[in-house]
Every structure is written in C-alpha cells, then in structure tokens.
Amino acid sequence: MKSKIQSLILLVLCLIISACSSDDDGNTSLSPEGEWLITSLLIESSFDFDEDGTASRDMFQETNCYNGNSIQFFDNGDVIIDVDLAYIFIDDNNQHDVECQNGFGLTSTWTQNGNTITVVNDFNDDNLVGTISGNTITLTIEDGFEVEFYDAVNDDVIIMDEDFTIIFTKM
C-alpha cells in the first residue's frame, strides 16, 4: 500500500512539474490590439507611376493613395479597416493615369490563433488571413489588385489581376 501511495505522489509531482514548466519555447503569441498603419503595398509587377525613373512593386512608394490608411484591432474582437483605393489605367502608349479614390471604412471581427490573424470578410467567403511578427502584420490577397490596359490593336480594355501583399506597422 505504501508503494502505491508513493507512486501516486510521484505521479502527481511529475504532473505538477510538467504543468509548471515554461511555455516560452520561442513561439510567443503577439497581440494585435491597437492601430496599425499601411507601410507597404506590394504587387507582382513593377511600375513607375510617380515618374521618378525607378519602377517599384510597392504601390505605397509609387502613389500617395494609401498614406494614412490603417487597420485597428479591438480587444473585444472588432476590427476597423480604413483603406483608400487607387484607380490605375494604362493606355496603348504606356501612359498611365492614377486616381486616388476614397475607399471605405469596413467594420468586421477578428480572431487570432498563434501568430495568425483572421479577419472575417463579409463580402465573400474568403476571409483575410495575416501573420503578425514583431511590430508588423503581413497580409496577402490573391488577385486583389487590378490594372486596366488599353489594347489599341483590338480596341479593347485588358484587365490584369495581381496578388498584393499589405504590410502594416504598429503605431
């Protein structure tokens, strides 16, 4: 009987020790609560929309349409996304027109699983999924960036869809 009690005590001690061991294995989860500014908006192709002689994939550098755009996470699971839009048209002479348009303020909800943040997309079934790392959140949206080209040969407008990656930096 004494050995059964000693075994039981030893088992309980092992469980307590393992339960109290450090959970810090380098994968600590970061909290997104607060406001995050868009600091980069990368597309697949490079353009020189600002006509500075340097083409870039970063629309944040090529236009001023996204300055001040942000996402704000609240601890109750709500999120507000404030994003403007850029209308881009490229003609058959490779001349372009960029028009900044007031975007939208979208209110939704968010969840977090480790370093993955999911924002519910009420417009379709494709939720927005990003990764938080340090003071940045990176989010890629497939075929979410659209550029219109004029094809003079066929007298037609060609629409090119590209993936884009938004990088948010915590304020």
pLDDT of 29? 62
pLDDT of 7? 33
Question: β-pairing, 78-90 with 136-151?
Answer: parallel
Q: In the chain, which stretches have pLDDT less than 70?
A: 1-29, 92, 124
Tell me how far apart the alpha carbons of residues 160 and 150 are, in angstroms, rounded to a whole number.
11
Condensed to tens digits (0 to 9), the pLDDT of residues 118-146 reads: 998 777 677 889 999 999 999 998 888 88
Question: β-pairing, 116-119 with 70-73?
Answer: unpaired
Q: Are the CB atoms for 62 and 47 separated by under 8 Å?
A: yes
pLDDT of 136? 95
**pTM of this prediction exceeds 0.85:** no
pLDDT of 160? 84
- Cβ count near 147 (within 10 Å): 18
> In this structure, which CATH number among 2.40.128, 1.20.120, 3.30.870, 1.10.3470 belongs to the domain 31-170?
2.40.128
Tell me how far apart the alpha carbons of residues 82 and 124 are, in angstroms, rounded to a whole number.
18
